[in-house]
Structure 1
Amino acid sequence: MNIGCVKEIKVNESRVGLTPKSAKVYIEHGHQVFIEKDAGLASGFSNEDYLNAGCMIYSDPKDIWKDSDMIIKVKEPIKKEYPYFKENLIIYTYLHLAADEELTKALVERKVTAIAYETIQDETGLPCLRPMSEVAGKLSIQEGARYLTKHGELGILLSGTQTVDAANVLIIGGGVSGTAALSLAYNLGAKTTLLDINENRLIELKEKYPKLNTLISNEENLVNGLKDADLVISAVLLPGAKAPKIIRKEHYQFIKKGAVLVDIAIDQGGSLHYSRPTTHKDPIFIEEGIIHYCVANMPGIVPKTSTLALNHQTLPFGLKIADNLKEALANEAILKGLNTYQGYVTLKVVADLFNLPYKKYEK
């Protein structure tokens, strides 16, 4: 199979879909790998690194799309890439279709086989989403803390000092990203509260972090948490589906002016009333006196760490797909990653959301 990896063109996206090491493994499996010139530079990989791995370097991305049977990316294709779609092309990347009706329709119309990292699911959970959720969770604290300083409004230090209280951090959701945020906030000394609907998960986290304030996620606890919070991390997830609006319009009256809200769920449509995607170049906006950080590709700001972590998880599944698509889709984990196939949406939550034709993949 001809496998292509193009340079990411989403604003401020510096990751790359294939490392030279991963590309070499595909080549050892008998595939050809085409890499766009300079695609890996921001992640620390030179064109020479790819050439030494056995890749072919292309200067024009449209030629890679034309010559490839399978495209491996990091982020979802953007509108200027839609004309490159073709029937039976396999696209293997993060897609987040529940937040992008136009992309979903383009994939269906061109009969693209689209396999999304974020919906591949095995006995461990969401293996290809996990590394980027961890990175985003840690960045949510790192970036949120920045806007608690005079970069924002409150002018406070997340960790406090021996004589000044630390900031209050509210984390909504105890999954991978929420737990990663918790780990960093807690270890920096912030006064941390975590809400989750799973009581057993709260017990686990309380045992690991004794000073953590754990509460069942309900309306009363959310409102009380918002009243005290300087920094709020929304880390909710419904795999493959549109994110629920956790912080609604009526909640804003309880949030202090100058507080910072970070929406990790922005890729799936956002979980805050005012959520809209931002970029690393222009990461925040203010509504009702409250700072919103809604960067849609948070891990892109640490491209080397993110690329290495992502490739570690995506390579085993990608090899199965490239070696034999039919056999790969017999694997339940990969099948759950299939979002569109031969002109149909194969992920029901997305088909229902956009009123598009749904068809279950038949093995």
Structure 2
Amino acid sequence: MIIGVPKEIKNNENRVALTPAGVAEFKKHGHLVYVQKSAGENSGFSDEAYAKAGAELLPTIEAVYEIAEMIIKVKEPIASEYPLIKKDQLLFTYFHFASSEPLTYAMIEREAVCLAYETVEKSDRSLPLLVPMSEVAGRMAIQEGAKYLEKPMKGKGILLGGVPGVPPAKVVVLGGGIVGTQAAKMAAGFGAQVTILDVSLPRLRYLSDVMPANVTTVMSNHYNVMDAISQADLVIGAVLIPGAKAPHLITRDMLKLMSPGTVLVDVAVDQGGCIETCSPTTHENPTFIIDDIVHYCVANMPGAVPYTSTLALTNATLPYALQLANKGWKKACTENEELKKGLNVANGKILYKGVAEAWNLPFEDVETALKDLVYA
């Protein structure tokens, strides 16, 4: 198969979808790999390293899309990339369709095959391609939140861990999944007083067992969320419903419960956000203020630490990408239930229920669609 790796062009997205080591693995299996020049530069991987691993370097993004059968990316295509996508071309990347109607319609129109990292799902319901970036984002949420609590950043002027004789900051984490767990661990490590809320009692039991003493677990409901955020200095939104929009746990009216300078970090913003007043921002302009509350809503947080993120992402995606290349996407998705759940759009049809429901569009069962495509 011919693999294409374009340079990411989303604002301040510094990651790359494939490392030179990944190129070498594809070459070992007999595939051709084309990498756009300077695609890995911001992640610390030179063109020379890709060439040495066996990749062919192409000068433009247009050239990569033109030649490739499978495009491997980090983030969803942006508007300038839509015309470059060919019918039946396989795109393997994060899509988050439920948060972007234009992207959804564009991929339907282009009749591309869209296999989304974020909905590849194991039998235990874990999301193996979302986990590494969720780990990075969860940890970064505290790192960024601590920075924006500083007074020059319009925060309260509170040191996250306090000092002897001065109490630490109060951190509230909404959601006890991968992002929430990593955020709570980092905040606790800083010495903050942490409250983590989740709707699953078994998950809260687990977190109670593994978290340090400065982390308190609380059942998530409307009353408890309001109570927690009214005392918080830093709130982390870490709620995920795979492939669907995140629910709004904090509404506009609830901002008045918080004191001026409180910082909100909505890690779920690329899936619609779990804080109503949050909308996607960039690393260039990461925050905005509503009702004296600082909102940090960067949709590609791991892009700020591209070396770590690229290695972590490739470690997770490469085994799946090799299956797609070795077998072709139809056979790979037919034989592998995890990859099958990653199919969101193919042949101009939506194959993932959460995406169809987000935009009130027709939905075709992926099993039926695959049978029709394989035996067509």
- TM bracket (short chain): over 0.9
Paired with 1:358 and 1:99, the residues of 2 have a C-alpha distance of: 17
The residue number in structure 2 matching 1:204 is 206
Is 1:274 matched up with 2:277? Answer: yes
Deviation at 1:359, TM superposition (A): 1.5
320-329 or 188-197: bigger deviation: 320-329
The residue number in structure 2 matching 1:237 is 240
Paired with 1:221 and 1:140, the residues of 2 have a C-alpha distance of: 22
The residue number in structure 2 matching 1:327 is 331
Q: Which runs of 5+ in 2 are unaligned?
A: 372-376
23-32 or 305-314: bigger deviation: 23-32
The residue number in structure 1 matching 2:223 is 220
Q: 1:264 aligns with which of 249, 259, 267?
A: 267
On the 8 A contact 2:234/2:262 being kept in 1, the answer is: yes
Paired with 2:155 and 2:241, the residues of 1 have a C-alpha distance of: 32
Deviation at 1:252, TM superposition (A): 1.3
Paired with 1:93 and 1:185, the residues of 2 have a C-alpha distance of: 30
- State the one-letter code of the partner of 2:291: E
- SS of structure 1 residue aligned to 2:197: strand
Deviation at 1:358, TM superposition (A): 1.8
- SS of structure 2 residue aligned to 1:24: helix
The residue number in structure 2 matching 1:353 is 358
Deviations 1:26-56 (A, max 9, x none): 1111110000000001111000000001000
The residue number in structure 1 matching 2:292 is 289
Question: After superposition, where does 1:306-321 map in structure 2 within 5 Å?
Answer: 306-321=309-324
- SS of structure 1 residue aligned to 2:235: strand
Paired with 2:283 and 2:93, the residues of 1 have a C-alpha distance of: 20
Q: Which runs of 5+ in 1 are unaligned?
A: none
Deviations 1:71-122 (A, max 9, x none): 0000000000000111110000000000111111111111100000000001
On the 8 A contact 2:225/2:249 being kept in 1, the answer is: no
Paired with 1:55 and 1:226, the residues of 2 have a C-alpha distance of: 50
Question: After superposition, where does 1:1-363 map in structure 2 within 5 Å?
Answer: 1-123=1-123, 125-150=126-151, 151-209=153-211, 210-324=213-327, 325-330=329-334, 331-361=336-366, 362=368, 363=371
TM-score by length of 2: 0.95
Paired with 2:94 and 2:214, the residues of 1 have a C-alpha distance of: 36
Paired with 1:21 and 1:28, the residues of 2 have a C-alpha distance of: 11
- SS of structure 2 residue aligned to 1:329: helix
- State the one-letter code of the partner of 2:298: V
- SS of structure 2 residue aligned to 1:114: strand
Paired with 2:214 and 2:262, the residues of 1 have a C-alpha distance of: 22
Deviation at 1:355, TM superposition (A): 2.6
Deviations 1:137-191 (A, max 9, x none): 0000000000111222311100000111100000000000000000100111100
Paired with 2:353 and 2:148, the residues of 1 have a C-alpha distance of: 39
Deviation at 1:202, TM superposition (A): 1.0
Deviation at 1:326, TM superposition (A): 2.1
Query: CA RMSD for the aligned pairs?
Result: 0.9
223-232 or 146-155: bigger deviation: 146-155
The residue number in structure 1 matching 2:374 is none
TM-score by length of 1: 0.98
- State the one-letter code of the partner of 2:92: Y
206-215 or 331-340: bigger deviation: 206-215
Deviation at 1:262, TM superposition (A): 0.3
Paired with 1:78 and 1:211, the residues of 2 have a C-alpha distance of: 42
Deviation at 1:212, TM superposition (A): 1.5
- How many residue pairs match? The answer is 363
Deviation at 1:327, TM superposition (A): 2.0
- SS of structure 2 residue aligned to 1:205: helix
Paired with 2:217 and 2:15, the residues of 1 have a C-alpha distance of: 35
